[in-house]
Amino acid sequence: MTGPGEPFSGPARHIPEPLDPTHRHHVSLAPPDTYDEENLPPQPVVPRRRGSVVAAAACVVLGLGLIGGAVTGSWLTGDSSGASGKPDAFTAAGDLWHSIPVDELFPPTVDGEGAGPGGADRTWTRIAVAPDSGCKDAFDPLLRKALAPAGCLRLLRATYTDATRSHVTTVGLLFTKADSAAMGVLHRRFEEQGLDRRRDLMPRPYAAKGTVAAGFGDAQRASWTLSVLTDAPVVAYAVSGFADGRAVGEPQPAEDAMKAAATTTPAQAGLGHDAQGLADRVERSLRKTVNSATEKPS
């Protein structure tokens, strides 16, 4: 079990029981990684221009978080784009990977009021947190190539199970090297080409030994969602499956699996709701934290 103050890096670990939310675990200052694999060089990224992301700050205030309280630390210091002495929203979000406490980014327990099929409530418990890493083995080759233009700064992941311990879901946050304009281009490409709905571009799960997610491999992927954010240099995703390790022959995007008329196995099991519900709430937590760090004192 993770102890207070343990960094986000190091050997993979599992959390068999929910952790005390008052314990704060901090991610490490590990060196960034890039997409420097063979045949996958990152495209040059224009340095961020703080003046060009004022609009992004306005978007952040729309985020509804699950966790309250501002995060203090080194990412609140340094240059700022305003008189408050705090960084702009886009820049602050890009710095979160090395300083935000694990429990603020991936809460031990996530309540999903109305997030299940038919508006039923859901509760998810964190069972594993992956060490912060690069992206070399975290994505299938085609998805890795599609994300390559944004670059890979760091990847953070956690795996959850539902209250019945019959479903498992991995949630991931890819922190990129891209500026606001580059993230906007990537977002439009994914939407216009439907890349977030292609089965050959599904994210990979994080299977932790000694947990109910131990058998959660590529063949067990059942439903997924992926969002390229434009108000932060982040790609958020979630992928769900069955905890018993069964293979799924017809995985389905969460958007489709959540439709009332859907009859696929992922849809009938509510796995689309698991993927979308967890992704939404982790993304909102990220925005809430950024908003707390960038809001001006009253």
Q: How confident is the model at residue 17 (pLDDT cuts 50, 70, 90)?
A: very low
Of the listed ranges 7-11, 88-92, 118-122, 260-264, the one predicted with least confidence: 7-11
Between CA 56 and CA 92 the distance in angstroms is: 11
Q: How confident is the model at residue 289 (pLDDT cuts 50, 70, 90)?
A: confident
Q: Are 278 and 169 in contact (CB under 8 A)?
A: yes
Of the listed ranges 60-64, 209-213, 282-286, the one predicted with least confidence: 60-64
| H helices, E strands: number in the chain | 8, 8
Element at 294 (helix H, strand E): helix 271-294
Residue range 230-247, pLDDT digits in tens: 999 999 999 999 999 999
Q: Are 152 and 174 in contact (CB under 8 A)?
A: yes
For residue 37, pLDDT beyond 70: no
Residue 175 burial class via C-beta count within 10 angstroms: exposed 0-12, middle 13-18, buried 19 and up:
buried
Q: What's the chain's length in residues?
A: 298
- CB neighbours of 274 closer than 8 A, spacing ≥ 6? 122, 124, 162, 167, 169, 223, 238, 240
**Closest-CA residue to 8 (of 129, 95, 128):** 129
Residue-level pLDDT at 298: 53
Q: How confident is the model at residue 138 (pLDDT cuts 50, 70, 90)?
A: confident
For residue 294, pLDDT beyond 90: no
Tell me the residue type at 218. D
Between CA 229 and CA 286 the distance in angstroms is: 11
Q: What is the mean pLDDT of the chain?
A: 76
Highest mean pLDDT pick, 44-48, 119-123, 204-208:
204-208
For residue 262, pLDDT beyond 60: yes
More confident residue, 141 or 43: 141
Q: What residues pair up with 234 in beta bridges, in sequence order?
A: 175
Residue-level pLDDT at 24: 41
Query: pLDDT over 70 for what percent of the chain?
Result: 69
Position of tokens 């069955």? 242
- CB neighbours of 9 closer than 8 A, spacing ≥ 6? 27, 28, 30, 131, 132
Q: Are 47 and 222 in contact (CB under 8 A)?
A: no
**Closest-CA residue to 234 (of 185, 191, 183):** 183
How far CA 243 is from CA of 9, 163, 208, 237, in Å, comes to 25, 12, 12, 19
Q: Where on the phi/psi map is residue 176: left (φ > 0), alpha (ψ -120 to 50), or beta?
A: beta
**Closest-CA residue to 146 (of 176, 181, 179, 180):** 176
Residue range 69-118, pLDDT digits in tens: 333 222 222 232 333 344 588 888 888 777 788 898 999 999 988 877 88
Q: Are 245 and 212 in contact (CB under 8 A)?
A: no
